[in-house]
Every structure is written in C-alpha cells, then in structure tokens.
Amino acid sequence: MQPRTEATLGRLMASRLWKSIFRSGRGTSTLHRSMAIQQSVLLHILPAKVRRRMLNFDATWYLGTLTLGTFLVLVITGILLMFYYHPSVPQAYADMKDLRYVVSSGLFLRNLHRWSAHAMVLLAFAHMFRVFYRGAYRPPREFNWVVGVILLLITLLLSYTGYLLPWDQLAFWAITVGSNISSAVPIVGQKIHFLMLGGNQVNANALLRFYVLHCVILPLAAVLFIAVHFWRIRKDGGLYVQQSEPAKGAGETPVSTEDSAQEAVAKP
C-alpha cells in the first residue's frame, strides 16, 4: 500500500466517526482483533478465537456452513421469485410458467431455488450424519443437537410447503397425500388437516396458507434457530474437533491418548 493512502486510512480510522462505529479502534494486537469480532453485530456470533484444527476441511467437511450457504441462496432467490408470484388459483401456475418462459433469468432463478432446496435437505442430513458418527452431539453439545433436529424439521417443512406453490398436478397430489397423512393422528387428526389446509380439500386457502408459512413464518423460525445454533457452538467450546476435549475427570493424572484408546477397547 502506498504511504499516502496508508496515512489517509490511518487518519480516517483515528477519526471520531470511525471510532463511534467501530469501537475497537486501530491496532493489530490480539485484544484489538478479538474486540473487532466481539463488537460487530454481524460478527459477534462468531468466537473471538478459533483453533486452526477447527477450520480444517477434515474437521467438519464444512457441511454446516454449506447448509447455511444454500439457505442464504434460497432466501435471496426466494425473495426475487416473490416479485412475480401470486399465491392464488389459478394465477400461481401461470406465474410459475411465466417465470420459466417469459421473465428474464426467471428460469435460472427458479431452478437455482429448486436445486438449492434439494441441496439444503441433502446437506442438512449429511451434516447430521457427520455430527452423529463423529460423536459431536455428546455433552456439552447435546442441546445444540436438539436445536439441530428442530432446524431439520423446519427445513423439511420449508421443503414441503414450497412443493405446493407451483400449483401443478404433482404439487396438488403430493400435498393431498401429505396432508392426509396428518389425518391419521388420533382424535385431533381431522382438525389438524382442516387447520393446515384451511378447508377440507387442497384449494385456494391451502395455497395461501402454505405460501405464508413458506415465505414468512418458517424462514423467520429458521433464522431464529440458526442464530441459537451458532451461538451455542461458541458457548459449547467451539466446533467439535477430535482430541480437543478436556480430559475426563480434570485433576487426574493426564493419560496419553494411546492409553485411553486401549482403555476404551478394553471396556466391554
């Protein structure tokens, strides 16, 4: 960087305006670096320090981050699709066809939304399998596993509610079958079915209900639980990395990993 630019930047960062926005001010000390993370509303959910091992591809295969990435793609493409989509009968089907054949880049955005939706479900499952088989759900992370299960359910519900919106034969019969499954719930099954569809059959009310759930309620719930999920990662001691856990029974003589491995094998 040229000395003059650097000097200008230095003056700017020393100014009152800069300091009023970025309280941490200048500096490259560890304190300043951690302050820069902690005092930004967008970054405060991240830990101030991360072990290098946690960022390795091996540690997580980045499955959780990729799931978040597909979610962000879905939010952006979904908002763009909403500019051309009316959740009404039979306009919804015509709008879907318009997005395919008439709207500039409509086909690309719709396909991106659809493929990202499939990818998000796949990645969420892959993430959970990874967490399960690595044993990363164990204490102190057991509550975050529960939050993850809630997020999986929200993901599946988003997938299910979005399936009706094209309002074609596939959508109609899939939701007819899916909503009839809820009728099998003892005693209140018919009531759930009626509430979900806003009537006795998949109709204009059902389309509108699924639209509101898909575009407002479920995404808000997802954002809320994603925030809790990420905050818990930080509170539970960061991402799970093998051998990053404190030894069992602090205060005991530390044992080498080989010993504990033998111990684990020796247990019935």
Partner 1 sequence: MDQSGKQKPDEQEISRRVFFARLGIGSLGLATVGTLSFAYQYMSPNVLYEPSPIVNAGNVDEYSMNSVTMHAAEAIYVVRLPEGIFSLTMICTHLGCMTAWKPELGIIACPCHGSRFSEEGQKLAGPAPRPLPWLRTWLSDDRDVMVDRSTDVPPFQFLRI
Residues that bind partner 1 (CB under 8 A): 173, 176-177, 179-181, 194-195, 198-201, 203-205
In the complex, the smallest distance separating the C-beta of residue 249 from partner 1, rounded to whole angstroms, is 40
Residue number, 83 or 173, with CB nearest to partner 1: 173
Q: Which of 266, 260, 242, 248 is nearest to 59 (CA)?
A: 242
Residue number, 15 or 200, with CB nearest to partner 1: 200
Reading the block at residue 239, the tokens are 């991402």
User: What phi-psi label fits residue 161: left (phi over 0), alpha (psi between -120 and 50 degrees) or beta?
Assistant: alpha
In the complex, the smallest distance separating the C-beta of residue 153 from partner 1, rounded to whole angstroms, is 20
C-alpha to C-alpha distance for 116 and 123, rounded to whole angstroms: 10
In the complex, the smallest distance separating the C-beta of residue 93 from partner 1, rounded to whole angstroms, is 18
Residue number, 11 or 191, with CB nearest to partner 1: 191
Scan for tokens 């529960």, then name that residue.
146
In the complex, the smallest distance separating the C-beta of residue 207 from partner 1, rounded to whole angstroms, is 13
Q: Give the 3-state secondary structure of residue 180.
A: helix
Residue number, 2 or 169, with CB nearest to partner 1: 169
Q: Which of 93, 99, 102 is nearest to 113 (CA)?
A: 99
